[in-house]
Amino acid sequence: MNGGLFTATAVAHPNLAFVKYWGQRDPELNIPINGSISVNLSGARTITRVSFDPDLTADAVSVDGSPAAPQALARIVRHLDRVRGLAGITTCARVESYSDFPSAVGIAASASGFAALTLAASRAAGLALDLRALSVLARKGSGSACRSIPGGFVEWVAGHDDATSYAFTIAPSDAWDLRVISVAVSRESKPISSLRGHRAAFTSPFIAARLESVAQTLGLVRVAIKRRDLELLGMTVEREALSLHAVAMTSRVIDAPWLSGIYYMQPDTLRLIQAVQAWRSDGLGVYFSLDAGPTVHLVCEARSVAQVMAALDEVPGNDTYLRILSSPGRGVWLVDEAAGGDAPTA
Ligand code: PMV
């Protein structure tokens, strides 16, 4: 307690899914139709401070220095309500959140955002939840956020109800000297949010085929991580990302009838994918992944980073791209501001 305020600050990394979450069995609880596997991205982070303040009459939320937009605010207030429900309190909160990377371009700001919010809010409310309970709670804010709670390489088991759908570490962050270079080729916001994409997924004739293959894909990625087999990981991850996009491109969005399908790629996304395949035919060990956005995530081993960066320098238009270099990152953590730790800054 601090002058009537209960405050906590937490930091989380976004994560890159090797096997993707696309489609929900339960949209209220964000229970997915399939399991997924990801790695936390050390090069990007969200820091969130939460103070429960008896003087407030409503939750006050700022994101990257500005008041949260109505939709984001409603989503954050719903998450605070979950925390208040667990803690048995009704006090309103002040939330300040900053991310050091652009949102809505295919780097999961909602994952790091809801993971940091979950830890900061639950601590500020006096709860001491274990990793599984934090993961369950974060999932309800944004599905992929449950994978930013544990560290390193993470699997989210789809589960069948609220308690059984959670994420855990399958290999620690130092298990494999892997690197991800996230290349934001466009700052255009994605046309359709992942929330709407999940809901539209069932309208694609290819969702059944995707679901049929995903158990095998999960198995291959687990083996690749265990054996540190970059080729197996990379080829599996590329096909997996393209499978999500095949579903998205053939989905109907109920409230956007003018769209025949959802395109998350921009022209530069495809240009870079083709460049990666050409680099590989020249012997460079690098693979791509895509989330629901134009950003291309390049996956390689630490020893190849300089070569991949040099190859990127040759791509026409690359001077407009933002590059974020990550190694496998840790799970969500608390910051002790009183001890001079990281404080939220713009
Ligand atoms: O957690 P959401 O609702 O933002 O969905 C994330 C969806 C993808 O990033 C495309 C895939 C994934 O597994 O992270």
User: How far is the centre of ligand 1, averaged over its atoms, from the C-alpha of 218 (Å)?
Assistant: 16
**165 pLDDT exceeds 90?**
yes
pLDDT band per the 50, 70, 90 thresholds, residue 4: low
User: How far is the centre of ligand 1, averaged over its atoms, from the C-alpha of 201 (Å)?
Assistant: 12
- pLDDT cut 90: percent of the chain above it: 88
pLDDT band per the 50, 70, 90 thresholds, residue 166: very high
Name the average pLDDT for the chain: 94
Atom of ligand 1 nearest to the CA of 30: 3
User: How far is the centre of ligand 1, averaged over its atoms, from the C-alpha of 291 (Å)?
Assistant: 7
What's the confidence (pLDDT) of residue 269?
96
Helix, strand or coil, per DSSP, at residue 115: helix
**94 pLDDT exceeds 80?**
yes
What's the confidence (pLDDT) of residue 191?
78
Atom of ligand 1 nearest to the CA of 20: 13
**Entry pTM:** 0.94
State the burial class of residue 246 (Cβ atoms within 10 Å of its Cβ: 0-12, 13-18, 19+): middle
User: How far is the centre of ligand 1, averaged over its atoms, from the C-alpha of 341 (Å)?
Assistant: 30
Strand 93-99 to strand 60-63: parallel, antiparallel, or no bridges (unpaired)? Answer: parallel
Atom of ligand 1 nearest to the CA of 143: 1
pLDDT band per the 50, 70, 90 thresholds, residue 222: very high
CA distance 34 to 96: 33
Beta bridge partners of 51: 7, 94
**102 pLDDT exceeds 90?**
no
**255 pLDDT exceeds 90?**
no
Q: Which residues line ligand 1 (CB under 6 A)?
A: 17, 20-21, 36, 108, 110, 142-144, 194-195, 291-292
Lowest-pLDDT range, 4-13, 261-270, 286-295?
Answer: 4-13
pLDDT tens across 126-152, in order?
Answer: 999 999 999 999 999 999 999 999 999
User: How far is the centre of ligand 1, averaged over its atoms, from the C-alpha of 36 (Å)?
Assistant: 10
Question: What is the mean pLDDT of the segment spanning 98-103?
Answer: 87
CA distances 259 to 8, 169, 193, 242, Å, are 43, 38, 14, 19
Atom of ligand 1 nearest to the CA of 16: 14
Whether 294 and 183 have beta carbons less than 8 Å apart is answered as: no
Sign of the torsion formed by the C-alpha atoms of 110, 200, 295 and 33: positive
Q: How many residues does the chain have?
A: 346
Among candidate residues 132, 173, 177, the one with its CA nearest the CA of residue 153: 173
Atom of ligand 1 nearest to the CA of 15: 14
DSSP assignments along 144-169, one per residue = GGGGGSS-SEEEEE--SSGGG-EEEE
What's the confidence (pLDDT) of residue 338?
64
Best probe residue, ligand 1, of 22, 28, 154, 263 (max atoms within 8 Å of C-beta):
22
What's the confidence (pLDDT) of residue 99?
95
User: How far is the centre of ligand 1, averaged over its atoms, from the C-alpha of 20 (Å)?
Assistant: 7
Q: Look up residue 344 and give its two tokens.
A: 């939220």
